[in-house]
Amino acid sequence: MQIEPQQLARLVELKKQLEGLAGGGIDASPEQLIQLVLAIGAQSYDDGGDVTYRRIFFPQSNSCGQRQLLDSNGSSFSGADGKSVFLLSSFLCSDVNSFAAPVNLLVTPRSATPCYATATYSLVPNPNVPGVFQDLQVSIFTWAPGGTAAPNIAVDWRCRLVSLPIIG
């Protein structure tokens, strides 16, 4: 899409204003700003995934069970403190979820400046159904090479976990 120079200048100013309102950087091209809609994530479900389980009592052995797996990815920014905390459901099209381990989470900083990204996660319990997890809380941390927090770093992430069927 070709944007006229005057409109491009207005979009650059609009981006600065939106970043001020959002409290951080917005990774968007001028074409995306015109739409005021950003693609922030994608997900797919694989019905044919095998989950390996290990018995912890005698005899110690592995068994496998077929489960639906959710593979989701998205983009985010660390805040002024080098941290970003979000729920996986805020990037999904479904608002009714049930998740289980194992969880695989990968975070990659998107920066021309040297930096690192680390992440932690925790399954969020469903208060209405004991033993069931309705969400995944993800915490992303960005670091400068010296070990201090690196603020306002764009990150891409990918998460794969078990998505349990919900019987209603």
If you ran DSSP here, which 8-state letter would residue 81 be given? T
pTM assigned to the model? 0.75
What's the rounded mean pLDDT across residues 44-52?
A: 78
Q: How confident is the model at residue 31 (pLDDT cuts 50, 70, 90)?
A: low
The pLDDT of residue 98 is: 94
Write out pLDDT tens, residues 49-88. Answer: 888 888 777 777 888 888 889 999 999 989 999 999 999 9
Three-state DSSP at 59 gives coil
Distance CA(138)–CA(140), nearest Å, equals 7
Write out pLDDT tens, residues 91-123. Answer: 998 888 999 999 999 999 999 999 999 999 999
Confidence check: pLDDT of 38 > 70: no
What's the rounded mean pLDDT across residues 119-147?
A: 95
